[in-house]
Amino acid sequence: MIRIPQVRVVDEEGAQLGVMPTPRALEMAQERGFDLVEVAPLASPPVVRFLDFGQYKYELTKREKEAKRKQRSVTFKEVRLSPKIGSGDFDTKVHRAIEFLEDGDRIKVTVRFRGRELTHPEIGRNLLARFAERVKDHGVVERAPLLEGKSMHVTMASTHKPKGHDGPAPRPAGEARPESAPVATAEPAAPAAAATPPAGDGEAAPAPSQATRPAPAAPAAPAATKTKSDDAPAPEPVATGE
């Protein structure tokens, strides 16, 4: 609810309608089938616009999600050195720092002193200067080396743009096939295979259509027994040869 007595009105096409009382602006918005949305509340007078509020909220949420998906928070990484570090380890630390800087992260390069090494802070300062020289193409030093307690550190910012979070890569066409594979109905053949009698040794298994044909032959068994019972008296005259 807009409680300001007067507002500056912008119609749905972006045209300026001037300053008018809020009830009049609300009436005009309802006549056109829109909502009266306050888009610049800090202006004097506040600016309102004729909008479909539901569509406006949907587009606003969509833009926020898209911006959140693309943004990447810059993290702070630390690389630790020692005054007596070897050349191989030093190169490894440099390569690692370059990877952080290429990702858009800030790094903190720290030299830790032990025992009497603290009496020679210039060693750590020279080491940090050499380190910054090696990575100058990927980062810049934000401030001079600072000695705090038993460690000296320098902060470097990346000169690369932070990498955004892209959405999941689309699945290749060849890999999308297994997902639709369960749709193919290869299972109806299983009952036919189960009904097929097992083949004997050395014999080929009959086709599924032939395996179902012997079933009607079951009623023919009684007819065969009836024929034998009718012919049973016939052998008696043959037996009496007298």
Q: What is the pLDDT of residues 50-77, one digit of tens each?
A: 988 888 888 889 888 888 776 666 678 8
Q: What percentage of the chain carries pLDDT values higher than 70? A: 64
Q: Please, what are the domains in the chain?
A: 6-70 (3.10.20.80), 76-158 (3.30.110.10)
Q: pLDDT for 137-182, tens place per residue?
A: 998 898 888 888 889 999 998 888 766 544 444 444 444 444 433 3
Of 32, 58, 40, which is closest to residue 2 (Cα–Cα)? 40
d(CA 240, CA 235): 9
Residue 126 pLDDT:
92
Read off the pLDDT band of 89 (50, 70, 90): very high
d(CA 208, CA 195): 8
How remote is the C-alpha of 8 from its chain's centroid?
A: 44
Contact (CB, 8 A) for 100 and 157: no
Which token pair is 226? 């009836």
Residue 127 pLDDT:
92
Contact (CB, 8 A) for 131 and 92: no
Nearby residues of 161 by Cβ (< 8 Å), 6 or more positions away: 104
Across 69-175, the runs of DSSP E, i.e. the strands, are 76-81, 106-112, 139-141, 146-148, 151-158
Residue 207 scores a pLDDT above 70: no
Which token pair is 185? 């109905």
